[in-house]
Amino acid sequence: MNRKELLGEVERIVIKVGTTTITKGSSSASEDMMDSIARQVKELKHQGKEILIVTSGAIGLGLKAMGVKPNPNDIPIRQAASSVGQSLLMGKWNDSFKKQGITVAQILLTMDIYSDRESVLNLNNTIDCLLKHNVIPIFNENDAVSIKEIGAVFGDNDTLSAVIASRVDADLLIIMSDVDGLYDKNPNLHKDAKFISVVKEITPEIKEMAGDPVSGAGVGGMKTKIKAAEICKDAGCRMIIVSNEIEDAVLKSIGGADVGTIFIADTQMSKKKRWLKSACAQGTIYVDEGAERAIKNHQSLLPIGVVGVKGHFSKGDVVDVVCGDAVIAKGTPNFSSGEVEKIKGLHSSKIQEILGNKKKNDVILSENLITL
């Protein structure tokens, strides 16, 4: 099967532009590269395709503007640099797209925002409205307010781009990188490394092929790209890793040229299940082995199977479901952490007596659970 057959008719595309692509190996944004991407996006829009962009580069631009070189663990400086660099970065994207007569919009996300059900539904409404009015949404993680170390919230922009692709039901994610694609081993260290053009299934062997980042400029390496491919597979979204050194890499990728590594996706789970799988858990519900069997058999979690609760969460928040030492599922409970604590281990018939008039007897309904 050739590339065009593997790609099919792609209509909605997410393009992830990493730090090394933005800067082309320097400490400044490459105007030529950003202009090239804007030009390619305009051509795709003329073809009737919808485009979304996930961008990196804010921290690097901010550090240069501030004239500082922090160590990798200097989180406050990096967060400050992100807030300086993000406006610079969006200014450069705006300049490049303005040359093509295209309007862009900035969307900054944190995992906390994405993990809130109402917020993520509002996000979809915003994206749909922007695309309807021919505006290109440009996403980045809001590192300036992230409470965890930078790179450990969504994880990196490879993961963020896959989450966005999943959320918007994209047909294709293109990750522009400083490497050609996936090799069976690090090509910088092994001259006999073999290039892998097509990945039909993400096996343990494929995961083992992913090494550490090739360059020190970006956060993501091949491991994060494999993780992104797994997220895309759940969404039925194909993914291509392509070198930023290839002229018109985006157009060639979508046109079916034999460039980069393509990951095939032939399965798809519901959008709600995909959101549950990637959202950040607000707490933990511990269950016994009987409840584990029921959950894996696509049944609801009943209070009799609950043995413990950790953390503070409200009804509808995302929680991890743990049996022993393993997270077996994620879900949104019908009760708060305090209520689950009161009814754990009890028969469902006791809920009314303990909590009063409650419509649900299940701690988590089966349709609100995703097994891991």
26: phi then psi, degrees, rounded to nearest 5: -105, -170
330 with 210, same domain: the answer is: no
| C-alpha to C-alpha distance for 109 and 138, rounded to whole angstroms | 11
Q: What is the pLDDT of residue 217?
A: 41
Same domain, 186 and 306: no
Residue 331 pairs in a beta bridge with 319, 369
State how far the alpha carbon of 195 is from the alpha carbons of 199, 219, 274, 285, in Å: 11, 23, 30, 44
215 and 194 within one domain: yes
Domain end (from 239, 273, 307): 273
Same domain, 258 and 329: no
pLDDT in tens, 218-234: 444 788 899 999 999 99
Query: Does residue 269 sit in the same domain as residue 285?
Result: no
Give the model's pLDDT for residue 221. 74
Q: Provide the 10 A C-beta neighbour count for residue 133.
A: 9
Residues with Cβ < 8 Å from 226, sequence gap 6 or more? 182, 202, 206, 207, 210
Q: Which two tokens stand for residue 65?
A: 């503007």
Position of tokens 């967060």? 79
Mean pLDDT rounded to a whole number for the chain: 89
Q: What percent of the chain has pLDDT over 70?
A: 92
**Helical segments of the chain, H only:** 3-7, 19-23, 31-46, 58-66, 75-98, 111-115, 117-132, 157-167, 204-209, 222-234, 249-255, 271-278, 289-296, 337-343, 351-355
Q: Of 234, 252, 273, which one is at a domain's C-terminal end? A: 273
Do residues 71 and 162 both lie within one domain?
yes
Phi and psi at residue 148, to the nearest 5°? -100, 170
Which CATH number goes with the domain that contains 302?
Answer: 2.30.130.10
Domain boundary among 245, 273, 301: 273
Vertex 59, ends 156 and 38: CA angle to 5°? Answer: 80
Is the same domain home to 58 and 29? yes
Residues 305 and 177 in one domain: no
**Same-domain status, 121 and 197:** yes
| Average pLDDT, integer, range 232-260 | 94
pLDDT at 210: 76
Q: How confident is the model at residue 359, as a pLDDT?
A: 64
Q: Left, alpha or beta for 276 (phi > 0: left; psi -120 to 50: alpha)?
A: alpha
CATH number of the domain that 232 lies in? 3.40.1160.10
State whether 111 and 162 are in the same domain.
yes
Q: Report the pLDDT averaged over residues 157-183.
A: 92
- The whole-angstrom separation of Cα 18 and Cα 218 is 7
| Residues whose CB falls within 8 Å of the CB of residue 202, separated by 6 or more in sequence, listed in order | 226, 229, 230, 233, 263
> Among 275, 178, 189, which residue's Cα sits nearest to residue 220?
178
Q: What is the pLDDT of residues 100-132, one digit of tens each?
A: 999 999 999 988 888 888 888 999 999 999 999
Region for residue 345 given its phi and psi (left: phi exceeds 0; alpha: psi -120 to 50; beta: otherwise): left
Q: 255 and 328: one domain? A: no
The strand pair at 195-196 and 135-141 is best described as unpaired
Residue-wise pLDDT tens digits, 17-45: 988 899 887 778 899 999 999 999 999 99
Query: Which domain does 166 fall in, by range?
Result: 3-273
What's the domain count of the chain?
2
Question: Both 11 and 28 in a single domain?
Answer: yes
